[in-house]
């Protein structure tokens, strides 16, 4: 790598737009907040608006009502929020189509994992509304970080069945070059960062990315205003990274919308063993963040809330917003989990029947005369066919070249890595019967320098 060249490039004087001294708006000198005699409020630098009290009483969460859950559409598909304008028929239908597509793909892929045709899968049953609804309210340029149960978001932003299948089968068309476990999707073109398994790590990254977007717009006002949306589950919110992220997003005024999918379980752990406060939403307030709780099974409510959150995130030069979307994880955690080991089958069946984002929107569409049983049947058959077609094509494709195992560790391959790649090739050459390289594009030859 020509580091010298990189060095001179960065050292070339460029635009000076950000170089002038600025007022440091976040700076607060505690010495300037002096205590006036007889003041009713405490001017400790750590809590400038706190009033004195002579009553000794501890604040208890139970004295505060639980944060309400915003709902726009009743479980029967009737619009109940007076302020809500439902999306256009066209958009409503496409959102329905996307939810249905994900749910059908989920069943097919879950079953094919069970047949051993896929190493792993993870469905998002019951949470299609949260991911499709929120994604529908974002702009294409908005940057997304996600956890792994947001297939609907990928679908809504333009991921195709071929994109899903290429990743799931680690074939040569996989953007991740066959390196990641199934369901770890990503797309640069669609501004969705590649999913990684470690939980919650994406949350402070989302704050940093949002700060980058903010600074870039300060430098160049011609860039359209953009936000970062960041998805995670209520279990991940127990990680230290959640705390770090919300705090730094608030102190640095980052235009980021945090979207928590509270589906009641983190693998086998119910929320009662995850936290004792009022869900995740109550924490947002503690960090000084605008917060809302929404019915995740109500796709219109999720969309509306995300739309408003996006606007809010772009006001006053940028600020974070927290959305807690309530739902229920109908599926097992993943193909490696049998959830009936820790929850009753009847509970799951109940949620499936009683409240489901797909059926709720279907009821709305049917009442508007936009949908019926016949259309449903036809759509299901068509989606099923499309999924299976993409499935078959993806399965037939070769795996990425073996060489891609060694590439992209650094921007350029190190001498050691080149040597090791050569060594692997030599082993394969000397023991041809011990390795099957036929399924990899280019066979062992891709390992040549």
Partner 1 sequence: MRILARFPLRGLISSIPRTTESASSVSRHRRPYSTHPPNARLNIPTDFSTTPLLAHSSQSALQNPELPPDARNGTTKRMNLFQSINDALSIALAADDSVLLFGEDVAFGGVFRCSMGLADEYGGERVFNTPLSEQGILGFAIGAAAEGMKPVAEIQFADYVYPAFDQLVNEAAKFRYRDGKGGRNAGGLTVRMPCGGVGHGALYHSQSPESLFTHIPGLRVIIPRSPIQAKGLLLSAIASNDPCVFMEPKALYRAAVEQVPTAPYTLPLSKAEILKQGADLTIVSYGHPLYTCSAAIEKAEKDLGISIELIDLRTVYPWDKDCVLKSVRKTGRCLVVHESMISAGIGAEVAASIQEDKDTFLRLEAPVMRVAGWDTHMALAFERFNIPDVARVYDTIKRSVEY
Our CB check for partner 1 shows the closer of 193 and 444 to be: 193
CB of 24 to partner 1, least distance (A): 4
Gap between the Cα atoms of 307 and 300, Å rounded: 10
- 47-51 and 290-295: which strand pairing? unpaired
> Of 21 and 369, which has the nearer Cβ to partner 1?
21
Task: Compute the least distance from the CB of residue 174 to partner 1, in Å.
Answer: 7
Residue 67 vs 244, nearer CB to partner 1: 244
**For residues 277 and 38, what is the distance between their CA atoms, to the nearest angstrom?**
36
Residue 168 contacts residue 182 (beta carbons within 8 Å): yes
Question: How far is 135 from 82, CA to CA, in rounded Å?
Answer: 23
| Cβ nearer to partner 1, comparing 82 with 198 | 198
- Distance, CA of 312 to CA of 154 (rounded, Å): 23
- Which residues lie below 8 Å from residue 197, measured CB to CB, with a gap of 6+? 148, 181, 184
Least distance from partner 1 to the Cβ atom of residue 234, Å: 19
The nearer residue to partner 1, 292 or 313, going by C-beta atoms, is 313
**Shortest distance, CB of residue 244 to partner 1, whole angstroms?**
3
Dihedrals φ, ψ of 73, to 5°? -130, 135
Closer to partner 1 by Cβ: residue 95 or 199: 199
Q: How far is the CB of 120 from partner 1 (least distance, A)?
A: 15
Contacts of 186 (CB under 8 A, 6+ apart): 175, 176, 192, 193, 194, 195
Please report how close the Cβ of residue 341 comes to partner 1 at its closest, in angstroms: 28
Q: Toward partner 1, which CB reaches closer, 44 or 64?
A: 44
Question: String of b and e for 43-60 (b: at least 16 CB within 10 Å)?
Answer: eeeeeeeeeeeeeeeeee
Which residue, 143 or 348, is less far from partner 1 as judged by CB? 143
Q: Are 355 and 328 in contact (CB under 8 A)?
A: yes
> Nearest distance from residue 146's CB to partner 1, in Å?
13
Nearer to partner 1, 229 or 302 (CB): 229
Determine the Cα–Cα distance for residues 445 and 313; give it in Å rounded to an integer: 51
Nearer to partner 1 by C-beta: 301 or 421? 421
Q: Which residues contact 379 (CB under 8 A, 6 or more apart)?
A: 97, 100
Other C-beta atoms lying within 10 Å of the C-beta of residue 28: 10
For residue 173, the minimal CB distance to partner 1 (Å) is 9
Q: Cβ 363 to partner 1, closest distance in Å?
A: 39
Q: How far apart are CA 449 and CA 446, in angstroms?
A: 8
User: CB of 83: closest distance to partner 1 in angstroms?
Assistant: 33
Q: How far is the CB of 21 from partner 1 (least distance, A)?
A: 6
Cβ-based neighbours of 290, under 8 Å, separated by 6 or more: 284, 309, 312, 319, 320, 321, 322
**What stretches of 77-229 show up as alpha helix (H) in DSSP?**
89-114, 128-136, 151-156, 161-168, 202-219
Rounded to 5 degrees, what angle do the CA atoms 258, 320, 273 make? 40
Residue ranges in 115-176 assigned as alpha helix (H)? 128-136, 151-156, 161-168
For partner 1, the closer CB: 10 or 56? 10
The tokens for 303 are 């969309």
């Amino acid at each position: 790598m020509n580091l010298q060249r990189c060095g001179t490039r960065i050292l070339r004087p460029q635009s000076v737009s950000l170089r002038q001294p600025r007022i440091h708006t976040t700076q607060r000198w505690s010495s300037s907040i002096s205590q006036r005699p007889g003041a009713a409020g405490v001017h400790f630098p750590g809590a400038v608006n706190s009033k004195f009290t002579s009553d000794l009483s501890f604040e208890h969460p139970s004295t505060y009502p639980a944060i309400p859950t915003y709902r726009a559409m009743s479980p029967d598909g009737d619009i109940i929020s007076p302020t809500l304008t439902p999306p256009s028929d066209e958009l409503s239908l496409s959102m329905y189509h996307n939810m249905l597509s994900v749910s059908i793909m989920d069943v097919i892929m879950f079953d094919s994992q069970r047949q051993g045709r896929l190493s792993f899968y993870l469905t998002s049953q019951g949470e299609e509304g949260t991911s499709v609804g929120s994604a529908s309210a974002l702009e294409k340029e908005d940057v997304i970080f996600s956890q792994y149960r947001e297939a609907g978001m990928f679908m809504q932003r333009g991921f195709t069945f071929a994109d899903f299948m290429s990743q799931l089968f680690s074939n040569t068309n996989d953007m991740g070059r066959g390196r990641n476990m199934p369901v770890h999707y990503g797309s640069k073109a669609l501004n969705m960062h590649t999913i990684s398994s470690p939980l919650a790590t994406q949350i402070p990254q989302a704050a940093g990315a949002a700060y980058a977007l903010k600074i870039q717009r300060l430098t160049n006002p011609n860039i359209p205003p953009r936000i970062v949306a960041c998805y995670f589950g209520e279990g991940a919110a127990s990680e230290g990274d959640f705390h770090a992220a919300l705090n730094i997003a608030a102190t640095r005024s980052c235009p980021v919308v945090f979207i928590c999918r509270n589906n009641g379980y983190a693998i086998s752990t119910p929320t009662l063993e995850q936290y004792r406060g009022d869900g995740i939403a109550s924490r947002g307030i503690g960090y000084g963040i605008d917060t809302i709780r929404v019915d995740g099974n109500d796709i219109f409510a999720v969309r509306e809330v995300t739309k408003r959150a996006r606007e809010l995130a772009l006001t006053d030069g940028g600020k974070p917003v927290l959305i807690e979307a309530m739902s229920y994880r109908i599926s097992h955690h993943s193909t490696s989990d049998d959830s009936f080991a820790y929850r009753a089958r009847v509970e799951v069946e109940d949620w499936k029947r009683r409240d489901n984002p797909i059926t709720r929107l279907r009821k709305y569409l049917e009442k508007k005369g936009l949908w019926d049983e016949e259309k449903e049947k036809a759509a299901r058959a068509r989606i099923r066919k499309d999924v299976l077609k993409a499935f078959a094509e993806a399965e037939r494709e070769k795996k990425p070249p073996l060489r891609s195992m060694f590439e992209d560790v650094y921007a350029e391959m190190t001498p050691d890595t080149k040597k090791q790649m050569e060594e692997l090739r030599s082993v394969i050459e000397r023991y041809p019967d011990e390795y099957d390289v036929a399924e990899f594009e280019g066979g062992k030859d891709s390992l040549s320098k």
